[in-house]
A and B are shown apart, each in its own frame.
Chain A
Amino acid sequence: MIYFDQVSKIYDDESIALDNVTLLIEPQEFVSIVGHSGAGKTTLLKMLLAEENPTNGSISFESTDISSLTKKEIGKLRRRVGIVFQDFRLLPHKTVKENVSFAMEVAGRTDEEIASDVPYALELVNLIHKANSFPDQLSGGEQQRVAIARALVNQPDVLIADEPTGNLDPANAYEIVQILKKINDIGTTVILTTHNKGVIDELGKRVITMEGGKVIRDDQEGKYNL
């Protein structure tokens, strides 16, 4: 489904973010990427979202070469890939419901579809009772759940979670991981980056370990091992 073929990224100041990375991620997989800061995890995700182009190599999503997409096609790609950030990045002047609806609006969905799908996504993250609250009225864990609902509502093929538990306490972190597992169970490919050893060890799924821009380990039922 997603194929990184000998991908390298070298910035103008000669720093190497990715060094000849080759990876295949299958549909419906749950993949965790671990590594120290600067190991290249976020660069890898940015390339998948067409935020950055590789210096060498290519990235394919299904059969499409991501680096050759036009602006319009990038928009379409991003509607098939949901993303969740460490700092939530909700739209501060929109309510919970509006934040989730927004992702559907930009995808050109009708008002009827939005009215039926948004409550469903909010129920999935157990936040239907906070639909009319603003982000600053929610706890960190709740904000992250809204971000997940927003990422999910267009029924993406892939969900990228970039350090989603980084700003959360262990209880909230656990809850977020459970939601991600549930999403994976219903057929969505999940790519998770994290520094949280407990989360990785508890998942028992595929773990890719990166260091200095290279993949140094790729285990099908891996543990956090840095």
Chain B
Amino acid sequence: MNIIGFKRILKSGWINFTRNTFVSLSAVLVMVVMLFIISGVIITDRLLSETLSSIEEKVDVNVYFNPDIDESVALSLEEQLKTLPEVERVEYISKEEALERFKERHKENQSTLSALDELGENPLGATLTIKAKNTSQYDSIASFLKNYQSVNLSENHIDKINYFDNKQAIDTLNNVIDGSQKFGFIISVIFIIIAIVITLNTLRLAIYISKNEIHVMNLVGATEGYIRGPFIVTGAIYGIMATFIVMLLLVPISLWMTSIVQNFFIDVNFMDYYIQDFWRLVMWLLISGIVTGAVASSLAVRKYVNSKRR
């Protein structure tokens, strides 16, 4: 196809879109619903992973040393931990620092502070706070600690490892993360399939209306590409227009959702997600809209163009 032919197809597709007002409006609206569902899936996925990672951020394992052990014991364990691939970071809190933090935390509570003074010495031990790269890896870090403790340390070196207290909570969180991701994926796929099927059918009906027109094009000798081209262009325009409308609609919806969730004291700002994810959203919606519109139109027209000779 030459450039003139391509230009004529684009123009004809645009004319189909602007002059078939009612058909275009209904096709765009159905596509808006489809793209809205897809954008909902993208935003929910983002929200879920942000929430989960903020919860994950709060999970760690602490090793509390007895106050009377030498600092080098804690530091050598810290070095060992840093070599583990599962460990993201290790924070060493010396017994002095632990005392400072304790005092800071209880600065309003005079009786606790005076009780501490009466003791005359620092009752707190050093602490190692360990963050894993993934919550599922705490188990293997805990086994390492258990093993390290039995080989390198005597029984009174470590006061407590809090992983064993938190184990149940960490396991539950792992299950929640895993379950919500699987559930989210299945629901998303189902919604997207429903939306695409409805859109395909709407576009099929839109083209059914034009079947006489397609027959006339056949009879004046138009090639298959020349007949299908404008319909494919119109389908793609439906996708572009629907993307534009969905991106506009998401602004007030994001603001509204933010105010709703803030009533529940959840600190999530949908508007921030919208702004940060703007181009990613536009890209996905455009791809989904244009591909669905163009492919659906192309398939629907083919049925009438390929009216084989009997």
**Residue positions of A touching B, CB distance < 8 A:** 11, 49-53, 71-72, 74-79, 83, 89-94, 98, 102-103, 105-108, 110-111, 150
Q: Are B15 and A89 in contact (CB under 8 A)?
A: no
Q: Are B216 and A106 in contact (CB under 8 A)?
A: no
Q: Nearest Cβ distance between residue A89 and chain B, in whole angstroms?
A: 5
Asked whether B220 lies within 8 Å of A79 as measured between CB atoms, the reply is yes
Does B222 contact A49, Cβ atoms closer than 8 Å?
A: no
Number of A-B contacts (CB under 8 A): 58
| In the complex, chain B residues whose CB is within 8 Å of the CB of A90 | 216
Shortest CB-to-CB span from A94 to chain B, Å, is 7
Q: Decide: A53 near B220, CB < 8 A? Known: A89-B215, A93-B15.
A: no
Chain A residues lying within 8 Å of B310, measured Cβ to Cβ, are 11, 52-53
**A78 near B219: Cβ-Cβ < 8 Å:** yes
Contacts of A105 in B (CB 8 A): 8, 226
Contacting residue for B220 out of A51, A78, A93, CB 8 A: A78
> Does A75 contact B8, Cβ atoms closer than 8 Å?
no
Q: Is the CB of A89 within 8 A of B216?
A: yes
Using CB atoms and an 8 Å cutoff, list the residues of chain B in contact with chain A: 2, 4-5, 8, 15-16, 19-20, 212-213, 215-224, 226, 309-310
CB distance from A29 to the nearest CB of B (A): 22
User: Which residue among A50, A78, A150 has the maximum number of chain B CB atoms within 10 Å of its CB?
Assistant: A78
Known: A89-B212, A94-B15. A49 touches B219 (CB 8 A): yes
Instruction: Check A71–B224 contact: CB distance below 8 A.
Output: yes
10 pairs from A and B in contact (CB 8 Å cutoff): A51-B309, A78-B218, A78-B221, A91-B213, A91-B216, A102-B217, A102-B220, A103-B221, A106-B217, A106-B222
- Contact check, A75 vs B213: say whether CB atoms are below 8 A apart: no
Query: Complex Cα distance A77/B218, Å?
Result: 11
With a 10 A CB-CB cut-off, give which of B16, B218, B221 has the most chain A CB atoms: B221
Residues of A within 8 A of B5 (CB): 108
The majority secondary structure among interface residues of chain B is: helix
> What residues on B are CB-neighbors of A108 within 8 Å?
2, 4-5
Known: A74-B221, A75-B223. 4 other contacts (CB 8 A): A77-B221, A78-B218, A89-B212, A106-B220
Q: Is the CB of A93 within 8 A of B221?
A: no
User: Which of A83, A106, A110 contacts B226, CB < 8 Å?
Assistant: A106
Please measure, in the bound complex, the distance between the C-alpha atom of A107 and the C-alpha atom of B5, giving whole angstroms: 10
- What are the 6 closest A-B residue pairs judged by CB atoms, nearest first? A78-B221, A79-B221, A106-B222, A93-B19, A75-B221, A103-B220
Chain A residues lying within 8 Å of B15, measured Cβ to Cβ, are: 93-94, 98
Nearest B residue to A83 via CB reads: B219
Known contacts being A51-B309, A53-B309, A75-B223, is A110 close to B217, with CB within 8 Å? no
Q: How many angstroms between the C-alpha atoms of A107 and B223 in the bound complex?
A: 9
Residue from the set B15, B20, B216, B218 with the largest chain A CB neighbour count within 10 Å:
B216
Partner of A93, one of B4, B16, B212, B218: B16
Contact B223 A92 (CB under 8 A): no
- CA gap between A156 and B20 in the complex, in Å: 31
B17 to chain A, nearest CB (A): 10
Identify which of B4, B212, B221 contacts A110 (C-beta below 8 A): B4
Closest to B9 in A: A105
Residues from chain B with Cβ under 8 Å of A50 in the complex: 309
Which of B16, B20, B217, B309 is within 8 Å of A52, CB to CB? B309
Contacts of B215 in A (CB 8 A): 89
Which chain B residue shows the least CB distance to A72? B223
Q: Closest CB-CB distance, A58 to chain B, in whole Å? A: 14
Distance of B4 from chain A, by nearest CB (Å): 7
Which residues of the other chain, B, contact A79 by a CB distance below 8 angstroms?
220-221
CB distance from A107 to the nearest CB of B (A): 7
